[in-house]
Chain A
């Protein structure tokens, strides 16, 4: 029977955690070691006891854990092609097998009760399979917890970047030149429709930076019409960087912040510096703007920034970095993401 499905219901497909991402590796190592510590604490009867159990636990865990992670790292391209259920089964089987292998190859270390080898072997399989299954459940829940955020972030980004303030002021400015400079008004409306079209496009996960820069330029052309000489721009873009893939709508909301909280608040205006560079591994985007001296109120910046931070965390986990330098008279945002190229 065909199932009725609203177009809004578009759940994210389950995917295996990417074992080549440092976030997944770090989380796995941290969680399993924490588990070992917990068990040590339960078993121990004194602090020195707990330390001894803990160290012994680490010594047993680490070789198995890192072997499993290494194997998963090597198999990642194949694993990622499997459907979730099959992939998860393979991961659990790998963990169980490696755990068993250690027990068979180094019984002196891993077979704890020499007289009951059957128990030892079964236990190693259960521990390997069990802990990997727990981790898989954890990563799945983690992704589910974040995925509505992706959806929400997208909606919010849409709202944040088409700031009503910008929309109505720009329309007002266009109306201000419609009679005296109809040609210029036409161009402005064309820019506006391009900007909105690009902004409303159904987003892919990643988009070429080139497109992001074009979107930013359309936006800035409109702000220049409104603010005149108060808005000065200084672009420094390394040519290799333009081919990089970035999350859509990364640049424009940052520039809008720079205009709204910086340039618009200064009677003489100022310069927005946009610097984009890459070292081949990472892409660095830096936007700096002057702003009037005041008692550090950066709340407005925060909404757009939180949104970008969340999307970066979802897409790149710990591989994206994000720095804000809010000084007395200037504001600087610096975003570092992995340098990815179009396939």
Chain B
């Protein structure tokens, strides 16, 4: 007996989800599958999928707040990323990109035969590479997804003051509090190069949040060095000797 394919549906339109539910029902006769859940937006999808994993996620591209491609980027960072199949009614650019990178997609209205065909095929596929998703959407993500006690928190990237690597994790600091993420500082630096600047081997700060620079003494008898003060934050962060030039650039 084959284990049924676990399918999850994300679409902001209830009737579109309805349609997919019925089609999946029809497909179940030919292919063992189970609909493990559905969501109306990106956050709900991340939340539910972190609790009940799925093999295949059908993701609508055009959704409010977080579009399908960003959702796929977050899903891809799961320990066991699901296979993503995009759905769209009409999006010339996205479809061109999908064809180019051999990404699976379904055109709405979706035909049952096409859905069945796709589900049969993707079972054997490896999840999309991160680079492919990056190419589908050259813009950086709008949120960081933080896994915390079985929940997923979405932190808008514009609220982040600094990112600091600490042992195994990276600390994400907003005005309210700190979060931990497993993403690497180097990858974050590359993705958000226009937003953050490196002030230290282990620290990136948001350019827009820099309030000023101060001279400080490092320990008793130590040398004076520069620190950066961020808006709304009392602590100051040390700037390493190699990054001193940013004081002139942003000061």
Contact of B89 among A168, A177, A266 (CB under 8 A): A168
- Of B9-17, B165-173, B180-188, B228-236, the segment with at least 4 beta carbons within 8 Å of chain A is B9-17
A contact residues around B16 at 8 Å (CB): 169, 172-173, 176
Contact B109 A267 (CB under 8 A): no
Contact A179 B41 (CB under 8 A): no
What is the CA–CA distance of A330 and B62 in the complex, to the nearest angstrom? 20
What is the CA–CA distance of A226 and B15 in the complex, to the nearest angstrom? 7
Could you give, for residues 1-32 of chain B, a 1 whenever the CB lies within 8 Å of some chain A CB and a 0 otherwise?
A: 00000000000111111110010000000000
- Determine chain B's interface SS by DSSP, over half rule: loop
Please judge, given known A-B contacts A168-B90, A267-B41, whether A177 and B65 are in contact too, CB under 8 Å.
no
What is the CA–CA distance of A165 and B13 in the complex, to the nearest angstrom? 13
What is the CA–CA distance of A131 and B81 in the complex, to the nearest angstrom? 77
A contact residues around B109 at 8 Å (CB): 168, 171-172, 175
Contact B22 A173 (CB under 8 A): no
Contact A267 B15 (CB under 8 A): no
Q: How many residues of B contact A (CB 8 A)?
A: 20
Contact B89 A228 (CB under 8 A): no
B contact residues around A172 at 8 Å (CB): 15-16, 19, 89, 108-110
Contact of A180 among B12, B13, B18, B64 (CB under 8 A): B18
- The closest CB in chain A to the CB of B110 belongs to A172
A contact residues around B12 at 8 Å (CB): 267
B contact residues around A90 at 8 Å (CB): none
What is the CA–CA distance of A179 and B18 in the complex, to the nearest angstrom? 10
- The closest CB in chain B to the CB of A170 belongs to B89
Interface residues of A (CB under 8 A from B): 163-165, 167-169, 171-173, 175-177, 179-180, 225-228, 264-267, 292
Which 7 A-B residue pairings sit nearest by Cβ, starting from the closest?
A176-B19, A176-B15, A168-B89, A173-B15, A176-B18, A164-B90, A172-B108
- Beyond contacts A167-B90, A168-B107, A173-B16: 12 other A-B pairs, Cβ-Cβ < 8 A, are A163-B90, A164-B90, A168-B108, A169-B16, A169-B90, A172-B19, A176-B17, A176-B19, A179-B22, A227-B13, A264-B62, A292-B65
Residue contacts A-B, CB under 8 angstroms, 29 given: A163-B90, A164-B90, A165-B89, A165-B90, A167-B90, A168-B89, A168-B90, A169-B89, A169-B90, A169-B108, A171-B108, A172-B19, A173-B15, A175-B19, A176-B14, A176-B15, A176-B22, A177-B15, A177-B18, A180-B18, A225-B15, A226-B13, A227-B13, A228-B14, A264-B64, A266-B64, A267-B64, A267-B65, A292-B64
